[in-house]
Structure 1
Amino acid sequence: MSTSTVRGQAIGSLLRPDHLVSAQAAFRSGRMSTADFKTVEDRAVDEALRLQEAAGLDVVNDGEMRRTSFMDHLLATVPGALGHEAPIEADSESGGAYAVDNPIAVVEPIVAGRNIGVEEYVYLRGRTRRPVKVTVPSPLMLYGFWSAERSTPVYPDPFDLFGAWTALLRSQIEELVALGCTRVQIDAPDMAVLVDEDQRQQREALGISVERTLTEGCELIDSLAATPGVSVSLHLCKGNFRSMWAASGGYDWLAKRVFAGTPHVDTYLLEFDDERSGDFAPLAALPEDKRITLGLVSTKRDELESLDALLARVDEAAQYVDRERIGVSPQCGFASVAAGANRVGPAMQAAKLFRVAELAAELQS
């Protein structure tokens, strides 16, 4: 399903304001009622919305203010996952790489959890006249929860697990569509980190075939994009935690396979904020009926990109894909995990969103 042209948008998460962080702690400890907590959440969502509207972004979301992680509704299907914080091994607290060691494994069938997107969408649609999108995690994000030693009694093959989450996620997307939602973004770091050879080796070591990820995995994602009544975009992120990343590498190894394997996806959102992203040449493989959103503005660095430099980058990309099919965004969310917000303050976050909208306006002129 195609939708109107989107030139500028945020990716998903925004920095949680202090009043929300305090309320979350109070609610978890039983010092705040559900009703009072929801009032605070609503206020945070309103603030996230007003920021995006003030910036002039074409599509808005709720900043993921009701979540602690971009994949909360996936984690709700795995017993014990929401109450567990995976240990992070990091080279640097600002600008380096990180790795996640997740000891939680799926040992019983996953079951439908809370469809948080319903609350997000229903609240937001009543607060804005702008198009609204809801973000969901890729079906393959459960790769870190499948264990060849512990998960095989219930899911003998990892793609059995991925297929089970796909079925649950499709039902969630269908529920959103029934409520009037027309835009869903699938966040797929599970796919994007495979640009890195080390990540490919690690995935194979888990017993999860990289080749099958690029074939069967793309088929699962595309089955979601084929849901009637909704336009689906695919965000290929290489990791986002306290201004660090999980993978480095250009999209030349990945783009052609993903583009070809997901024909029902309308738009691809790719990171292009620094040298880790490689050049724009892989965009030449983008099918003519698809759009690309360039993540040119970094959510990891506490400095504002110049408009002229960004426009020059767009000009580079336009050598490979028609300018009319190019949109712009930050390279990722500002706080994909609440505890791992990037080292960027609220004022710089706002400046970057305004810069995205300013850049988008230049593309239309």
Structure 2
Amino acid sequence: MLEARADVVGSLLRPPELLRARERYARGELSPADFKRAEDAAVDRAIRLQEEAGLPVVTDGEMRRTSFQSQLVEAVEGFGEVPLEAYLWGEWRGDGRVGDRSVERPRGLGVAARLRSRRHLSVEEFVYARARTDRTVKVTLPSPSLYANLWSPEVSREAYPTLDGFLEDVAEVLRREVEELVRLGATYIQLDAPHYPLLLDPRTRRFYEARGWGMDRWLSRGIELDNHVIGDHPGVTFAFHLCRGNQGSRWLVSGSYEPLARRIFRGVRAQRLMLEYDDERSGGFEPLSHLPEDKVAVLGLVTTKSPRRETPEELEGRLREAARFVPLERLAVSPQCGFATSVIGNALTPEDQAYKLRVVAETARRVWG
């Protein structure tokens, strides 16, 4: 199992030149080859940034994605048009760019045909990144039940009469992706699962329950699908990321992990749990007492939502506080989420981002040597 004490979640701020290239490509003003060169350059910079920060784990920054979850829609037929708003809906709160307001889920959204893969989701990301670093490359994939948002009783029933049938096909696509990544040499894969903490809020939970699953089924069937994706791959470490929403420096829900911890911490077969703990919205460290002995809790103590500059001394204090509930040797540290869950990005500067990555690595050296 991977033993890195400093970790990253996934996305990094997209550079302005990549955002401009994306807009030009969408308008037909940039060729596919030129757009790929712009993506490649952004990935090169993202990897170099993480290496210079001293991180033992790097990602490609999710530079090739519209959103952390958009690559499934782009790689698989059956969804029709899925605008960026499909990934942004909800009651967003905070002091960031999205605004303290409700973002409506687009009308008529839903899978409309049986899923059929056109290409792999993240193989390009991994193969390119692994050739440009000697660090461990983490590949991020979405948890299958996250895509319940893209199943609609009105739009999807002809293709998928039930939510179960749709999510089973999603899980199978993701399982094949994992198998191909492992075949190509990937040793660290993460499933992003922010929808589980969203069940903590009654308003958000009502939406998910309207898909046909109650809270208990979300935890039992959802974890079963996650484990199907993870499969059995000796020598490969899996992480499982649980946060409470992250778009434009905003968040969706708050609340302790306690109602979820016993089921998820013990049920999912990932070896590393990436947990959001950057402020009081996450509650205390008490739920860590449910962590099984064969798992590591990677504590997201460094916020990606604001420019606040944490110090190694502050982070060491919080890690030692968490060690009251789980031994220090089964803890690690990371940012609480990505810096740009979608192309919108959070309200930080590149300098803020670089500082926060450095402080994660420095804290790990200070605490664990």
Same fold, judged at TM 0.5 (above) = yes
Residues 276 and 337 of structure 2 are in contact (CA less than 8 Å); yes or no, is this contact kept in structure 1? yes
For 1:85, the equivalent position in structure 2 comes to: 85
Matched, 1:151 2:156: yes
Residues 97 and 244 of structure 1 are in contact (CA less than 8 Å); yes or no, is this contact kept in structure 2? no
Bigger Cα displacement from structure 2, 93-102 vs 72-81: 93-102
> Cα distance, 1:68 vs. partner?
1.0
> Cα distance, 1:88 vs. partner?
4.3
Q: Specify the code of the residue in structure 2 equivalent to 1:255.
A: A
For 2:367, the equivalent position in structure 1 comes to: 363
Which of 204, 207, 230 is the aligned partner of 1:202?
207
Instruction: Detail structure 1 runs of 4+ shifted over 3 Å in the superposition.
Output: 81-93, 95-100
Q: Specify the code of the residue in structure 1 equivalent to 2:181.
A: L
For 1:318, the equivalent position in structure 2 comes to: 323
Distance 1:287 1:119 in 2: 34
> Cα distance, 1:196 vs. partner?
2.3
TM-score, normalised to structure 1, is: 0.94
Distance 1:79 1:147 in 2: 11
Q: Specify the code of the residue in structure 2 equivalent to 1:364.
A: W
For 1:249, the equivalent position in structure 2 comes to: 255
For 2:350, the equivalent position in structure 1 comes to: 346
Unpaired stretches in structure 1, ≥5 consecutive residues: none
Distance 1:292 1:97 in 2: 32
For 1:224, the equivalent position in structure 2 comes to: 229
Structure 2 CA distance for partners of 1:265 and 1:92, relative to 1, 3 Å:
closer
Distance 1:354 1:183 in 2: 21
> Cα distance, 1:145 vs. partner?
1.3
Unpaired stretches in structure 2, ≥5 consecutive residues: none
Residues 73 and 114 of structure 1 are in contact (CA less than 8 Å); yes or no, is this contact kept in structure 2? no
Q: Specify the code of the residue in structure 2 equivalent to 1:249.
A: G
Q: Specify the code of the residue in structure 2 equivalent to 1:261.
A: G
Write the mapping of 1:211-360 to structure 2, written as runs, cut at 5 A.
211-229=216-234, 230-262=236-268, 264-338=269-343, 340-360=344-364
Residues 99 and 246 of structure 1 are in contact (CA less than 8 Å); yes or no, is this contact kept in structure 2? no
Residues 174 and 227 of structure 1 are in contact (CA less than 8 Å); yes or no, is this contact kept in structure 2? no
**Identical residues among aligned pairs (%):** 43
Which of 139, 153, 162 is the aligned partner of 2:144?
139
Q: Secondary structure at the match of 2:85?
A: coil
Q: Specify the code of the residue in structure 2 equivalent to 1:362.
A: R
- CA deviations 1:48-100 (Å, max 9, x no partner) are 00110011111111000111111122222342244553364655572557555
Distance 1:68 1:58 in 2: 26
For 1:45, the equivalent position in structure 2 comes to: 43
Structure 2 CA distance for partners of 1:89 and 1:177, relative to 1, 3 Å:
closer
Give the RMSD, CA atoms, in angstroms.
1.8
- CA deviations 1:229-265 (Å, max 9, x no partner) are 4321100121111111111111001011102221x21
For 2:14, the equivalent position in structure 1 comes to: 16
Distance 1:160 1:75 in 2: 17
Distance 1:235 1:118 in 2: 20
